[in-house]
Amino acid sequence: MRIEVYNSSLKKKWDDFVSVARNAHFMFYRDYIEYHSSRFCDHSLLFYDDRSRPSALLPANIAGDVLYSHQGLTFGGLILDIYTNAEDVLKIFSELKLFLVQKGIQKLVYKCLPYIYFSQPSDEDRYALFMNDAILSRRDVSSTIFIQNRGPYTKGRKWAINKAKKSEIEVERSESWEEYWKILTESLQTRHQVLPVHSLAEIKQLVDLFPENIKLFVAKKHEKIIAGTVVYENRHWLHTQYMASTPAGKIAGALDMVIDRLLVEYYPDKRVLDLGTSNAKEGRLLNAGLIAQKESFGARAVVHDFYEWILT
């Protein structure tokens, strides 16, 4: 077993591994990780087996004496191929501890990839965390729809969608990022006094890098955007981000119609739609109103776990 800290000469090797991994997400490609490289001190790791073949990757950054599953990514954890088994992952964790302690790192903060993003079962890391006495430090609740076997809408959600259909609202994929980002920013500032995590320039940069993975869907009335969402898609899944409505869009039920069209018209053959988390305070606070909205589409809970592993 050998561990190597990532550097730019390893980009192709890294990306090639991600492309065939059984628990990959397109945000694990180096172009996504590095779009905001100035914010984080990257310390991603590659793990090689005894034949010098890559067996796992760990997107990570370092801050002081703590190694983090990359803080610039929603998800993290070990990226595995189909050949790496449970015993291999136990060995990876054993070698990782020695490697990090030698570098003076005292703690690993590890975020898991929820199982809905797996193309094959990939919970070996959770078992290894348990075997190494890592502590579950945070658990967020995400709301997910299994598209091929989805639950029914509530009566209220059906009513809102029918109302939107009668209001001459059209749903379409859009490239009007500037117009939508203005709506999103105004909505976030009004409701939460915050800005989008991504600036307009950053999201446009990511769209240029991943045009088939990051898309904008909007609801329009009289050619004016009144609601929308950003969709991350890859393989069998979708993940909505940055949902927003104008005041007129809220009255018309426009965002309800956007979600409905994603399920019924645009992505009926996908397996999973993840509507995101509804938590604050490190998972200890559940936004009951927000999760109820998501559950009204038939979504149910999938947890997103975070662990802390004290190394010394």
Q: Do 2-133 and 145-303 share a fold?
A: yes
**What is the Rg, in whole angstroms, of the alpha carbon atoms belonging to the chain?**
21
Mean pLDDT across 268-279: 97
Query: How confident is the model at residue 192, as a pLDDT?
Result: 87
User: Judging by DSSP bridges, how do beta strands 279-280 and 170-174 pair with one another?
Assistant: unpaired
Name which of 91, 34, 81 is nearest 54 in CA terms. 81
The whole model's pTM is what? 0.94
Q: Kind and range of the H or E element at 20?
A: helix 11-20
Q: Give 108's pLDDT tier (boundaries 50, 70, 90).
A: very high
* Alpha-carbon span 144 to 18, nearest angstrom: 24
Mean pLDDT across 277-286: 95
Dihedrals φ, ψ of 298, to 5°? Answer: 95, 5
For residue 91, is pLDDT > 90?
A: yes
Residue 90 DSSP SS3: helix
For residue 281, is pLDDT > 90?
A: yes
Mean pLDDT across 102-120: 98
Residue 5 DSSP SS3: strand
Indicate the CATH number for domain 145-303.
3.40.630.30
Query: pLDDT per residue over 195-214, tens digit each?
Result: 999 999 999 999 999 999 99
Domain 2-133: top CATH class: alpha beta
Dihedrals φ, ψ of 72, to 5°? Answer: -90, 0
Query: pLDDT per residue over 8-56, tens digit each?
Result: 999 999 999 999 999 999 999 999 999 988 899 999 999 999 999 999 9
Q: Which residues, listed in sequence order, are joined to residue 308 by a DSSP beta bridge?
A: 109, 135
Domain segments of the chain as ranges:
2-133, 145-303
* Alpha-carbon span 40 to 34, nearest angstrom: 9
